[in-house]
Amino acid sequence: MSTRRPDESMLHAWMDGELSPESAAAVAQWLAAHPDEAARMAALQAQTAGLQALHVQVLDEPVPQQLHRALQRRASLQWQWPHALAAGLMLSVGLGVGYGVGHGRAAIPPVRAEARLPLFVREAAAAHAVYVPEQRHPVEVTAQQQAHLVQWLSKRLGVRLKAPVLEAQGFLLMGGRLLPGEGGQARAQFMYEDDAGQRVTLYVSVLARPGAQAAPVAFQWASEGSTHGFYWMDGQQGYALSAALPRERLQLLADAIYRQLE
């Protein structure tokens, strides 16, 4: 693994989900080895989510009629005949070039955007990288207060939660914590540990997805560096399971969790 620190532009591109899968995996692996930087990026994500939540209701409001009329008047004044002539010339050139490309040689295929993981999955990966290395404070509320933990997180997320039992798979609940997510929404993280000290986190989010109740549940695989995971959406809830475990073992954990939450 390269020990070279990613520059700030790459770190922010990773946070915004704008890197290629290979670059994103390299950054995630570097963050997993540098918990202080991972914590800083998690704090920036939380700050961004809070800023996005400010006056978010304004985005759904209609454009005021006065502003709409002003924009129409300005557009009509700016569209004079020199601009129309220039636009016509550009259109002619564009049509000619397009015809030449289509008939003289094979047309250039459109650029395909890189597939992006859902935001809650990237939030889960960042939270996993920050808190799994913690020795003194890996969780906010321990498993000894499980009833309080589940009740508290359920109230904050607005849905009834459950901490899955994974003892049959070799993992014991350590506890959990409350985390910030997209738009200032609350998120929950449950952490588990096996006898070898290997830790697994389950990240739970509530998504604003109208009509999502009818969507079929399907596990999706995600991998960033040494951290792997499965994520799925069930109704309006999103789940992300993260760990540095082989795919087959994570699949068993994901199946066990889904059966208990169903």
Q: What is the per-residue pLDDT for 191?
A: 97
Residue bearing tokens 């601009």: 83
Q: What is the per-residue pLDDT for 94?
A: 41
Q: What is the per-residue pLDDT for 104?
A: 40
- The C-alpha atoms of residue 8 and residue 105 are separated, in whole angstroms, by 41
Q: What is the per-residue pLDDT for 68?
A: 56
Q: What is the per-residue pLDDT for 2?
A: 52
Digitized pLDDT (tens) for each residue of the chain, 262 residues in all: 456 788 888 887 777 767 776 777 777 777 777 767 777 777 676 666 555 555 545 555 566 666 656 656 655 555 444 444 444 434 343 433 333 434 443 333 333 333 467 888 888 988 898 899 988 889 999 999 999 999 999 999 999 999 999 999 999 999 999 998 877 789 999 999 999 999 999 999 998 754 444 445 567 887 766 678 889 988 888 999 999 888 889 999 999 999 998 7
Q: What is the per-residue pLDDT for 101?
A: 39
Selection from 220, 226, 225 nearest residue 254 by Cα: 220
What are the residue ranges spanned by the domains of the chain? 8-56+117-261, 65-104
Selection from 161, 158, 166 nearest residue 150 by Cα: 161
Q: What is the SS3 assignment for 11?
A: helix
- Run of H or E including 192: strand 186-193
Predicted TM-score (pTM) above 0.85: no
Q: What is the per-residue pLDDT for 59?
A: 52
Distance (Å) of CA 65 to CA 16, 68, 71, 72, 241: 34, 5, 10, 10, 47
DSSP state of 112: P
Q: Looking at the domain that runs over 8-56+117-261, which CATH code has it been given?
A: 3.30.200.100
Torsion of CA 114, 185, 50, 18, to 10 degrees: -10
Q: What is the per-residue pLDDT for 76?
A: 54
